[in-house]
Structure 1
Amino acid sequence: MTRVNELGQPIGAPVPDWTGCAPIPHTPMRGRTCDVVPLSLSHAADLHAAFSAETTGALWTYMPTGPFASEADYAAWVNRACTSTDPLFFAIIDTATDKPVGVASYLRMQPEHGVAEVGYITFSPALQRTPMATDAMYLMMKRVFDELGYRRYEWKCDALNAPSRRAAERLGFTYDGLFRQALVYKGRNRDTAWFSILDQDWPRIKAALESWLTLTNFDETGHQKRTLQSFMAK
């Protein structure tokens, strides 16, 4: 039933005793297959090498940055990114090799409202379509919901970026809508697709992610026995 005020106007549900959340800390997150750690200049050379394994340039099509002509150019970007507080950049470290294989960030953080976005997701070929990729996203979700009590976690992408849209849906994000002509980047228009997970969604999504990530869900060659979607459906 919709609540109304004393004037008979519909109003939102109460959020009792809400005082906001703590800012997201720039500290490591440890997972089963990867660690998510503050991005530093020491990661630049290995990240550039990992990204260079993708030779078509498609990795950068929908990114606001890149491609980078040289390792020095990428290191200069990392050097700037390291000092940013919003976005708050992290490197994704393969614990099997202790090498960085991707980057992600929190951005548009609003702790007073309990809202944050994940973005600048840049996965090298060594990270794409691996359990590490899911593990990294799980760790970042777990921080905002379990550790800090955020109410909303967002994923936004170019509406034409089909792989990003599929990734968001696979991870349990709900499509919220389309913001037309939201940005101009790299000299072209971007309509932005918005996705979100709410705190009320998180227990179900968390259980599915943890079940999928367990060692018993993978055979001796590392292939999944059950899809993440099958756990989400359950």
Structure 2
Amino acid sequence: MPPMLLICLAAALGAAVGPVLVRACWVRSVPSGEPPRSHCDDCGAAPSALPRWRCPGCRRGLGPSVWWMSAAAAAACAVCGWRIGPHPALAAYLAAALAAVVLAATDARVKRLPNAIVLPLYPVTIAVLGLAFLTDRHHGSLTRALLAMLALVTVFYLLALASPSSLGLGDVKLVGVLGLLLGWLSWAAVVTGVFLGFVVASVAGLALLLTRRAGRKDTIPFGPYLLLGALLAVALH
């Protein structure tokens, strides 16, 4: 398959799934410990099971803008299609890219990385990468991916214990999936992804402080920056 065609198909997939991602963000955008949303906060209507982004009762927007979500999903999927190419492993990266858009939007809004989205990525990613490894053992390394997962989970868990106000267990769970995906590519990708995540988070945090959109004691969600750092590492690989 020509590279440009694959990139276009991947971007089209992300754009097409955008409305579904918006609804997933709305359902999951609740404070920790509470059940997922089932009714509109304004009129009490129960939105349809279809991937709508407006309440059928009061027409209130449900979740972030569908256009932004579709654009973000299209860009993330296009990067994966560009760098991974026509290989079975691409399925794992596309699934993670779509989930990443929901996770980033949800964490930015309510400082939460839902287990219902993060945890299923582990068996899906390991299974797809395992099949990809059996198909072509020269494209990536399953062993390195598993080791990177264990290494990042261990390091981030220790960091979360040392500074629970900076890192949460949601970040620890998320970074394990990122370790699998980046470790499949190379150790350099793992280091680059984590490094860029911290750099982007630092720059964004400083910008929020300077613009007074956040205070020194405010907690800034780290998940979106980890995800962006990982995507940049894939792009630079």
For the aligned pair, the TM-score class normalised by the smaller chain equals 0.3 to 0.5
Asked which structure has the greater CA Rg, the reply is 1
Higher helix share: 2
Using structure 2 for the length normalisation, give the TM-score.
Answer: 0.34
Q: Which structure's relative contact order is higher, taking Cα pairs within 8 Å and 6+ residues apart?
A: 2
Higher strand share: 1
